[in-house]
Amino acid sequence: MGAYIVRRLLLIIPTLLAIITLNFFIIQAAPGGPVDQAIANMLGMGGASLERVTGNAGDSDAGGLARQNQESRAGRGLDPEVIAEIEQQFGFDKPLFERYFTMLGDYLSFDFGDSLFKANTVLGLIVERLPVSISLGLWSTLIIYFISIPLGIRKAIKHHQPFDVWTSWAVVIGNAIPGFLFAILLIIVFAGGSYLDWFPLRGLVSSNFSELTWYQKIGDYFWHLTLPVLALVVGGFATLTMLTKNSFLDEINKQYVITARAKGAGERRILYKHVFRNAMLIIIAGFPATFISMFFTGSLLIEVIFSLEGLGLLGFESTLQRDYPVMFGTLYIFSLLGLLIGIISDLAYTWVDPRIDFESR
């Protein structure tokens, strides 16, 4: 198993390189780079000072395209020397490939640079937003798994019985409700909208959080998380519940289960000692994708609705602003984390079923 893990770890390097390279050149080719955004701000602010308007800015253009842009900007009444100063200040006067290889060298040492439009480093922004994303992703994923797996097993046992039918309807209806729409409904009903005012509407904790006792802090934390997590999990049960049910049904009908029953083994022993281990393999295989989806992308609209500044909102804002260091830095970290979780998933396979031997493959 050790050699397999080493091979998987080594494969992370070319995989990350391919992801970063592809996204780097695609994003660089997109119009409206950071310098263009800064210039638009400058024109809108009526000739404000360079330091005040641009802060940190760069451009996605290189070579002849950069010269064309400079001529276009000059035609709009902007001094080419000012534009050149902005590009030189932040390294966007260098050729495209030089910037690319410089970025790769920095990423080897986990140096992701500074945000172009926010007064912080990329790592500082990620650390600042991480508590929100961890809270939303972790608790919603755990709740979905802790409810969906027992529910799926119960549905498999009660297949075609009333319990299976009405829970299937409940799961389908929950899956049909968009998370953001359910979030709005929760706000209207429970957060001072039109009916009850039981839960807070903004933030992860209260403004007086530091003054609370340790148990009050825990209560305040979950008080703020209740509505966002409910909005995230409402549509997350369907896939995992049905996957669990179908996986258990498939295993229940196999020959080894019939043999165990013929030998006099009890249903509970057959279910949890024989069927459970085999049926859970496919569930474990889907955990990394579920976790990554909830952790990084699934909470964007929820973060906006509940005024939570998490990684989803950070990525969205950086894309709109063409904040390249934040875009590439978060992409690099998220991709690396996803690949490592994939390896952990393989290790979980061997823990659930020791018969699986990745080393021999």
Q: Which residues contact 237 (CB under 8 A, 6 or more apart)?
A: 144, 147, 148, 151, 171, 174, 175
* Cβ–Cβ under 8 Å, residues 192 and 151: no
Q: Where are the domains of the chain?
A: 31-108, 122-352
- Cα separation values, 275 from 96, 153, 237, Å: 56, 10, 22
pLDDT tens-place string over residues 296-328 = 555 778 888 888 888 888 888 888 888 888 888
The Cα–Cα gap between 157 and 155 comes to: 5
Q: Which residues contact 54 (CB under 8 A, 6 or more apart)?
A: 38, 41, 42, 86
- Cα separation values, 310 from 92, 132, 320, Å: 29, 5, 16
Q: Which residues contact 138 (CB under 8 A, 6 or more apart)?
A: 295
pLDDT tens-place string over residues 23-61 = 888 887 777 666 666 666 666 643 433 343 344 444 444
pLDDT score of 52: 38
pLDDT tens-place string over residues 145-175 = 889 888 988 898 888 899 999 998 988 888 8
Question: What is the chain's mean pLDDT, rounded?
Answer: 78
CB atoms under 10 Å from CB of 351, counted, come to: 10
pLDDT score of 297: 53
Q: Name the phi and psi angles at 298, rounded to 5.
A: -70, -15
pLDDT score of 62: 42
* Cβ–Cβ under 8 Å, residues 310 and 132: yes
The Cα–Cα gap between 227 and 205 comes to: 13
CATH of 122-352, one of 3.40.190.10, 1.20.120.1200, 1.10.3720.10, 3.30.70.250: 1.10.3720.10
Collect the ranges in the chain with pLDDT lower than 50: 45-66, 68, 70-75
pLDDT score of 42: 66
The pTM of the whole model exceeds 0.95: no
114 by DSSP, 3-state: which? strand
The helix, strand and coil proportions of the chain, stated in percent and rounded to the nearest 5, come to 75, 0, 25
* Cβ–Cβ under 8 Å, residues 233 and 144: yes
The Cα–Cα gap between 243 and 237 comes to: 10
- Cα separation values, 298 from 70, 306, 312, Å: 39, 14, 8
